[in-house]
Amino acid sequence: MVGRTPLVRIKKLSDETGCDILAKAEMCNGGGSVKDRAAYYLIKDALTKKKLKPGGTVVEGTAGNTGIGLAHMCLAMGFKCVIFMPNNQSQEKIDMLKTLGAAVHPVPVVPWDDPNNYNHQAKRFADATENACWMNQFDNRANKLAHIETTGPEIWSDTGGKVDAVTFGSGTGGTVSGVGTFLKEKNSKIKVVLADPQGSVLYNYFTYGKLERTPGNSITEGIGQGRVTENMKDAPIDQARAVMDVDAVNMTFRLLHEEGLFVGASTGLNVHSAYEVAKEMGPGHTIVTCLCDTGQRHFVLSILIASNTIEPIHSCHRQRRVKIFFGRICPAIMRIHNRG
C-alpha cells in the first residue's frame, strides 16, 4: 500500500495566514513514511534492469525511513534486506528494521568523500554478495521518478490544480525535485521552495551558488546534505529557506497541541517552511508540504516525551519548554549525533 495518502489542512496555521496550508499525510503509506514511494520505485527499477533476481538481496545505505520502506517491500516480495546506516540514528528506527527482518549495520558517521561512509560500505557489500543490488537512493533517479509519477500528480489532483507553492526538505532530493518537476510542467508559476536545516549546503547552493554549509549541526534526521545529489542536480528550485532547529521543533509542538499530529522534526521543518511561505505570499494562496512520518520514529521526540518536556498547550509554556529542550537536552543529543 503505497501512495494515495490523504491531503490534510493544517487548520490553525491556515487560519492565521489566510492561506490553505495543506500536507500530504505520508505516514499513511504501508511502511509509515514518504520514503515508501522511493523504496518501491528503487526495487522496481532494479528488477526492470535485471540487477535483482528472485530471492536476491536488497542493500542500501539509509538514515532509516528508506530502509524501513525497503524492508517492508522485501518481506512482501521475497527478498533479503541489508541496511547500512549512520550510528547517530534513532534506536526506534534500528529496532523497526530488525523487526522487519533486515540485517542492520550501524557505522561511524563520516563524510561522503570518506570510503567508510555508510553509502560506500553498502555498495561494497552489494558488490561482494551474489545476487545483491545496491539501491543507491541518493543518485538513482528512480527515486525522483517516484514523485514525478505519484506524489506530484496526487497533489495536482487533490487540489484541483489550485496550488501556488510547494515546500519540502531534502535528503536524497527525490521528493522536492520530483514533485517540483511534475508541477512545473502543469503550471510554471507554481513556486518550489526548498527547506534546508542548519549545517546543510543546499541553502547556500541554491541561493548563492556555493557549496558551503550553513553554521551548526541539526537534530533533524534524514534531511540536509553536504553535496548535490543526482536527484537534485536539475531540481526546479525557486527559493531556498534555511530553517533553524528551534523553529522546526517549535512547529512539532504546535502540530501536536493544535492539530493532534505527533510528528518528527523533519516534518516540523517542512511545515515551518510552509507557514513562512504562506505569510510571505499573503492570504488566498495554497501551499502544500508533507508530513514525513510519525514522531515515534524519532529519538529527539522520544526524549521530549520521556523527560516530560512536551506539555500542553499554552504558547508561553510551549516556548519555554522549547528553550529548555535546546538549553539542556539538545546538547546531549548533538554529542550523540556528532560522534565518530
DSSP-derived pairing of the beta strands 57-61 and 132-134? parallel
Give the model's pLDDT for residue 304.
54
Confidence of residue 314 (pLDDT cuts 50, 70, 90): very low
The architecture CATH gives domain 7-30+150-337: 3-Layer(aba) Sandwich (3.40)
Measured torsion, CA atoms of residues 50, 52, 53, 57, in degrees rounded to the nearest 10: 170
DSSP-derived pairing of the beta strands 239-243 and 80-86? unpaired
DSSP-derived pairing of the beta strands 80-86 and 57-61? parallel
7-30+150-337 and 35-134: same fold?
yes
Active-site amino acid positions: 35
DSSP-derived pairing of the beta strands 239-243 and 286-291? unpaired
Give the model's pLDDT for residue 297.
65
What is the identity of the amino acid at 338?
A: N
Neighbours of 103 (CB within 10 A): 15
Over residues 179-204, the mean pLDDT reads 97
Q: Cell numbers 535546546 correspond to what residue?
A: 326
Rounded CA gap, 286 and 266, in Å?
21
Give the model's pLDDT for residue 89.
77
Over residues 46-69, the mean pLDDT reads 93
Rounded CA gap, 228 and 205, in Å?
8
Rounded CA gap, 225 and 200, in Å?
5
Neighbours of 194 (CB within 10 A): 28
Rounded CA gap, 140 and 205, in Å?
21
Over residues 55-72, the mean pLDDT reads 93
CATH number of this structure's domain 35-134, picked from the four choices 3.30.365.10, 3.50.50.60, 3.40.50.1100, 1.10.1040.20: 3.40.50.1100
Query: What strands, in cross-sheet order, belong to the sheet with 80-86?
Result: 103-107, 80-86, 57-61, 132-134
Give the model's pLDDT for residue 312.
41
Give the model's pLDDT for residue 222.
76
Rounded CA gap, 282 and 19, in Å?
7
Over residues 116-120, the mean pLDDT reads 95
Over residues 193-200, the mean pLDDT reads 95
Neighbours of 95 (CB within 10 A): 12
pTM of the entire predicted model: 0.87
Are 2 and 70 in contact by the 8 Å Cβ rule? The answer is no
Instruction: Show the beta-strand stretches assigned E in the chain.
Output: 7-9, 20-25, 57-61, 80-86, 103-107, 132-134, 165-169, 191-197, 239-243, 286-291
Contacts 24+ apart (CB under 8 A), 108-113: 108/339, 108/340, 109/337, 109/338, 109/339, 109/340, 110/340, 111/226, 112/226, 112/227
Rounded CA gap, 189 and 162, in Å?
11
Sorted by where each begins, the domain ranges of the chain are 7-30+150-337, 35-134
Evaluate the CA torsion angle 322, 323, 324, 326 in order and state its sign. positive
Write out pLDDT tens, residues 262-308: 998 999 999 999 999 999 999 999 999 999 998 876 655 545 544 44
79/336: higher pLDDT: 79
Residue 325: is its pLDDT beyond 50?
no
Over residues 179-196, the mean pLDDT reads 99
Neighbours of 99 (CB within 10 A): 10
Q: Look up residue 238 and give its DSSP letter.
A: S
Confidence of residue 19 (pLDDT cuts 50, 70, 90): very high
Evaluate the CA torsion angle 295, 22, 71, 180 in order and state its sign. negative
Give the model's pLDDT for residue 122.
98
Query: Mean pLDDT: which of 255-259, 281-285, 310-314 is highest?
Result: 281-285
